[in-house]
Structure formats: structure tokens, C-alpha cells
Amino acid sequence: NISIISFTLVCNYLNLYSSEVVFALSLLFGGFMQIVFMFLGLRRVEFRFIIPKTLRSDYIKTLLIRIVPAIGSASVVQINLFISQIIASFITGAISVLNFAERLYQFPLSILGITFSTVLLPELSRLYKSNNDVQAHLLRNKVVKLGLVLSLPCSAGLMIFSYEFIELIYQRGA
């Protein structure tokens, strides 16, 4: 974020490009800086990427089989959004309504998902490193149950208070 903001400010100050081009270039610059930062951190802890000698190992096959449902579900969501926006483009203001609804829909999902993954990943890594697969499986199940228990009230709250959320966030008293 710091690199994106500083790059944008410098380019705007020097009046190099239009604001749209400057913002696009600043995002590329920020992504590049993020990659550099990650590689420096990995180098500091002496992490080495291990490329498997063969891509036909059982581990790779299992990984690819497990990835397919995730790719399928993510693709369905993105295709649904794409088609919805095409249909909404025929109605004045409908694309904005869809974007606002998507933001409200993703808000509890992103908070719960990011929180759980941030907390869960180090613990699962520790359990798998110590070959404690049973504990890792139990921990994963507990987190999925907790996520479901917490997401159901969020969903109910969004349904019950949808008008109030939209009025508070997007209309701001107008």
C-alpha cells in the first residue's frame, strides 16, 4: 500500500501520465514490490523452493484432484457475477446495485475467512510438521463448524437488516 500510494503521488506530481494510467502502473509497481518483499523474507529464513523431480508423483496427483472442486466453485461464482453484470448493464444503475450487494455479501465471508485462515494456517503447519494428522483433522473440523455457526447469524443479519445496511453505508442520509 505504501509503495502504491507513493508511486501514485510521485507520478502525479511529475505529471507523467493520465491518472488512470498512473493508478494502473502503481498497482503493478505495488505487486512487484510485494513479490520482492516476499522473496527477501524467504531468503532471510533460507527457504528453498523444491521442485518435484516428477510431476507424476502420488502427492501431485492428489493435490490436483483436490484442487478441482475449489476451481469449479470459484469459477461458478465468477461466471455468475459476469453474467449478472451483462444483464444488469441493460438497466440504469443496476451494475452499481449488484456491486453494492456483492460487497455486503462478501463482507462477513471475508472477515471470517481471513481470520480463520490467519489463525489456522500456523497451527495446522505445526501439527502437520509433527506428523499429528489426527489433531490437524480435528482442528480443521472444529474451525469449519465454528465458521458455519458464525456465518449463519451473519447471513440472517444481512437478510433482516438489509435495508438499514444499505441506507447506512450507501445512502448516508441522502
pLDDT in tens, 11-40: 878 887 777 788 888 888 888 988 998 889
- Cα–Cα dist 120/124, whole Å: 6
- The pLDDT of residue 52 is 63
For residue 119, what pLDDT is reported? 84
Distances in Å between the alpha carbon of 162 and those of 30, 89, 117, 154? 35, 23, 27, 11
Residues 70-104: b if buried by 16+ CB within 10 A, e if exposed: eeeeeeeeeeeeeeeeeebeeeeeebeebeeeeee
Query: What pLDDT score was predicted for residue 173?
Result: 64
Segment 158-167, tens digit of pLDDT = 889 888 877 8
**In the predicted model, is pLDDT for residue 132 greater than 80?**
yes
Confidence band (pLDDT; 50, 70, 90) for 67?
Answer: confident
- The mean predicted confidence, pLDDT, of the chain is 83
Percent of the chain with pLDDT over 70: 95
- Residue 50 has a pLDDT of 74
Q: pTM for this one?
A: 0.46
Write down the pLDDT at residue 114.
Answer: 83
What per-residue confidence (pLDDT) applies to 174?
Answer: 65
Cell numbers given for 3:
509503495
Averaged over 90-101, what is the pLDDT? 83
| In the predicted structure, residue 102 carries a pLDDT above the cut 70 | yes
Calculate mean pLDDT across residues 69-96.
86
